Structure 1
Amino acid sequence: MIVVGGEALVDLVPGASARDASGAMLPRWGGAPYNVAVALGRLGAPTRFLSRMSTDPFGNAMVERLANASVHTELVQRGPEPSTLAVVGLDPDGSARYGFYTEGTADRLFADPGPLPADTEAVALGTLSLVLEPGASAYEAVLHREAAAGRLISLDPNIRADLIPDRDGYLRRFVSWLPDVGLLKLSDQDAEWLGGSEPAAWLEAGPAAVVMTRGGDGLIAFTKAGPIEVPGVPTVVVDTIGAGDTVHAALLARLRAHGALTRDGLSGLEADEWRDVLGFAAEAAARTCARPGAEPPTAAELGL
């Protein structure tokens, strides 16, 4: 079982006939960890979502969507606070920009539930959930405790710079997570914001593998045995919302299929196995980019 922890929120996305703020904005369910959980469920990987979600109509709809994706929700905490909103702007190439409304929202009040169920194989964390207090400290406690219990920790920082007022403080915190992280997944833009560190330095700090997304140029995995890369999969891009989250989910699902959801499993993957994992993630992301909003593909769509 893979546990995905973090925020669920409402993306307000420009309507199909408008790509600027003057057009109608349509609600779509999102939040990077939420997208990862939905994508994992659609790919057939046993998944639980760990979060605090509102009891408002948005929250109810998002919980229902998790259930429809076969994601287990017994670890979801509920509260009367409103759902977080993200207003999405689309650039001409379909890439997304975000503005967030987070004050007093449900996911910020997440409380550490204590040790996760015994069948937990891996824990995926990241994005706003590790930035916005008081919930960030609770998720951080989960990260360190579950790593100590032998679970693989997969981290996607998915930097939202506008919500990080103290960059130096965040960088110190990020470095403190790395010894307990088995898989670090990030974009080339994240890497640049984090200081442009060489992946080798991050590997030395703890992760067994670092996977970097490079938009249409594909993915590259950095391991102690050396880098492995695959090209992007050509597609007609509608928007890039949820593409990185789909990559994160597809990596975990394919690693699970290879029996590699452990530090030793990651370290033991051969180059051709890594190319299979990365290629699967690239194909899944391309399918997400070909339709509006964060709508990851199902296992059947990927021929599974």
Structure 2
Amino acid sequence: MIVAAGEALIDLVPQDAGSPAGAGLSPLAPRLGGGPFNTAVALGRLGSPAAFCSRISYDAFGEALLARLRAADVDVSWVQRGAEPTTLAVASIAADGSADYSFYVDGTADRLFAAPARLPDGVRAMIFGTCSMVLEPGASAYEELMRRAAAEGVFTALDPNIRDGLIRDPDAYRARFKSWLPSVALLKLSEEDARWLGGTPEEWLASGPAAVVVTRGGEGLSVLTRACGEISVPGVPVDVVDTIGAGDTVNAALLHGLAARDALSADAVAELDAGAWTDVLRFAARAAAVTCSRAGAEPPYAAEVDA
């Protein structure tokens, strides 16, 4: 089982792409989202046994989030509940489909996540990231859980998915990010994240991960490992509606592909050859393209990626 740990929230997305959100120029449609939530849904839709570890509101949005997880066959037994409201993220979609966000996070349910006393039974891998690794007190709880999972031999993945509007002290966050790397087996981030963090894949690889994957939007993605060096694949051409959830879909596709090769360990990842990595990356590129072809975070099912 692969566990996605982190926030679930509601994206408020302009119905007219390219119109500024919140300016009264386009109605906002609620979409179920949050990086870890989207990753869990994508894993379930791809056919990987998956679970979600988070704290979700009892409000109507929270019930809808849980329903989406259950519909994707995601185990929700590790979801905590709270009376606080669901976090909201207002998206602004540019003409090229890229998205920027402003957040409403004060007093919301997911911020009060508490690390469980033990890891889920049967967990093979856990993935962390996005807002949940920034907003306290939940951020410290997720960090504790990630370090504990790594110490217990669980394959850990991290997608920082930087939302700089939430990060009050960038230098402190960058230092904290570096402190996580010895506990991370797979680091995945976008080239925009890489620029913001101010490091290089080579530096991060030397700090602990067995592999570092960098996504480059429509240009494709690459992986850097000690054994194979850098391997890149192109993006899959598609008519982009928006890019919401594309990176989260890549997360799920990478983990799904590694699981299919029985490579959910740092040692197994280190032993993958260039051909195997190329296949995994191409699968992730196809999956992300499907997500980009429709509005909001709507990850594909396995049959859609294979087609």
TM class by shorter-chain length?
over 0.9
Please say if residues 114 and 142 of structure 1, whose CA atoms lie closer than 8 Å, have aligned partners that are also in contact.
Answer: no
Pairing partner for 2:154 from 147, 151, 154: 151
Pairing partner for 2:200 from 198, 221, 238: 198
- Unaligned segments of structure 2, at least 5 residues: none
Once the two structures are TM-superposed, the CA of residue 198 in structure 1 deviates from its matched residue by 2.2
Runs of 4+ residues deviating >4 angstroms: none
1:237 is matched with 240
How far did residue 115 of structure 1 move? Answer: 1.8
Give how far 1:118 is off. Answer: 3.2
CA distance in 2, matches of 1:152, 1:179: 12
1:52 aligns with 2:58: no
Which residue of structure 2 lines up, in the alignment, with residue 13 of structure 1?
Answer: 13
Structure 1 partner of 2:165: 162
Of 208, 211, 214, the residue aligned with 2:213 is 211
Show the 5 A alignment for 1:1-304: 1-16=1-16, 19-21=19-21, 22-195=25-198, 197-225=199-227, 226-303=229-306
Deviation (angstroms), 1:171: 1.1
AA at the equivalent of 1:271: A
Structure 1 residues 216 and 101: CA distance shift in structure 2, 3 A: same
Secondary structure at the aligned position of 2:149 is classed as: helix
TM-score w.r.t. length of structure 2: 0.97
Deviation at 1:301, TM superposition (A): 1.1
CA distance in structure 2 between the partners assigned to 1:47 and 1:26 by the alignment? 27
Distance (Å, rounded) in 1 between the aligned partners of 2:231 and 2:217: 16
- CA deviations 1:202-258 (Å, max 9, x no partner) are 111000000000011100000002000000000000000000110011000011001
Instruction: Report SS of the residue matched to 1:45.
Output: coil
Give % identity: 59
Secondary structure (helix, strand or coil) at the match of 1:50 reads: strand
Q: State the 1:18 CA deviation.
A: 7.0
Figure out how many residues of one structure are paired with residues of the other and give that number: 303
SS of residue in 2 equivalent to 1:185: strand
Deviations 1:15-42 (A, max 9, x none): 1477333111000000000000000000
Once the 2 structures are TM-superposed, how far is the Cα of residue 95 of structure 1 from its aligned partner? 0.5
The AA in structure 1 aligned to 2:157 is: S
1:170 Cα offset (Å): 0.6
Output one character per residue of 1:149-201: Cα deviation in whole Å (capped at 9) or x when no partner: 00011000000001001111111111110001000000000000001x22111
CA contact (8 A) 1:3 1:48 kept: yes
1:115/1:146 contact within 8 Å kept: no
Determine if contact 1:127/1:158 at 8 Å carries over to the other structure: yes
Contact 1:18 1:24 in 2 (8 A): no
Q: Structure 2 counterpart of 1:230, which letter?
A: V
The 1:71/1:24 distance shift into structure 2, 3 A limit, reads: same
Q: How well do the aligned residues superpose, as a CA RMSD in angstroms?
A: 1.0
Amino acid corresponding to residue 106 of structure 1 in structure 2: A
- Counterpart code for 2:133: L
Residues in 2 aligned to 1:247 and 1:300: alpha-carbon distance in whole angstroms: 16
